Amino acid sequence: MKITKNNCLYQITFVPHFFPVNCYLVEEDEDLTLIDAALPYSAKSILQTAELIGKPIKRILLTHAHEDHVGSLDAIKKAIPDLKVYISARDNRILTGDLTLDNHEDQTPIKGGIPKKIKTKADETLKDGDQIGSLQAIETPGHTPGSMSYLDKRTRALIAGDSFQTRGGTAVTGDVKKLFPFPGWATWSKPTALESAKKIVTYNPELLAPGHGDILENPLQTMERAIHRFEIKMKGAIITR
């Protein structure tokens, strides 16, 4: 386990078998917001990190419903019974086992590790533009249909879930990187992911905090290059089809 602090943001990284998974604590005046719940054994380290900071965790915002992002949700809820749980309305369906698609969505199967044993229910579902403390919810579908990113309006830190990765090279989700292909393989819709990546750079993030990989400061140029690369790859895929 490794903790990396950047202003009001604490990145907690777990590295089981070279598969690094991040979750984040965001410091508010009185308390902490946890973003994602990493892996089933991660709860103790997350709670210890909060103790170290000296503030209570009041809420958890989930970026999406894959099992490497909700793994210790039940354990954390058990330790903090008044914890408020937030997830996008769309991925709440996946969390509760509904893998159906809506008519307007890309008609391709939802992929990745779908949690089957999570008992904790969301207290509130989120939509684009919702504010939770200093964080703004931004819908970034693609990795899953209801993937959500969170922008800290004080620092413009973007906690992007798996909409971008930096491990194995910075990439839009769905652009499979040889050195770390897992987020790409687990992506539901590449065209939707590309649209979301283009949307998210318009918020001018000053820091990119991904689900997998190191935090990237001043990420805009790198994100734009990643979008450009992915777009060219996808156009190539259409031509050769």
**Residues lying near Zn ion in the complex (CB under 5 A):** 68, 162, 211
Which residue type does 41 have? Y
Please report how close the Cβ of residue 112 comes to Zn ion at its closest, in angstroms. 7
Going from the C-alpha of 27 to that of each of 34, 133, 135, the distances in angstroms are: 9, 10, 11
Q: Give the CB-side neighbour count of residue 78, counting CA atoms within 13 A.
A: 9
Q: Which is nearer to Zn ion, 145 or 211 (CB)?
A: 211
Closer to Zn ion by CB, 91 or 162: give it: 162
Question: Cβ of residue 107: shortest distance to Zn ion, in angstroms?
Answer: 23
Residue (22 or 49) nearer to Zn ion, CB: 22
Candidates 34, 59, 47, 186; CA nearest to 114 is 186
Closest residue by Cα to residue 156 from 218, 97, 80: 218
C-beta closer to Zn ion: residue 70 or 207: 70
> Residue 13: which residues within 8 A CB-CB, separation 6 or more?
1, 2, 3, 4, 20, 21, 22
Nearer to Zn ion, 139 or 162 (CB): 162
Which residue, 134 or 144, is less far from Zn ion as judged by CB?
144
**What is the closest distance, in whole angstroms, from the C-beta atom of residue 215 to Zn ion in the complex?**
16
Integer Cα distance of 143 and 175 in angstroms: 11
Beta carbons of 53 and 23 less than 8 angstroms apart? no
Widest distance between CA atoms in the chain:
56
Sign of CA dihedral 191, 185, 44, 54: negative
Distance CA 82, CA 70 (A): 17
At closest approach, how far in Å is the CB of 184 from Zn ion? 11
Distance in Å, CB of 50 to Zn ion, minimum: 22
| CB of 66 vs Zn ion, minimal distance in Å | 5
Task: Sort strands 135-139 and 131-132 into parallel, antiparallel or unpaired.
Answer: antiparallel
Closer residue to Zn ion, CB minimum distance, 68 or 91: 68
Shortest gap between Cβ of 68 and Zn ion (angstroms)? 5
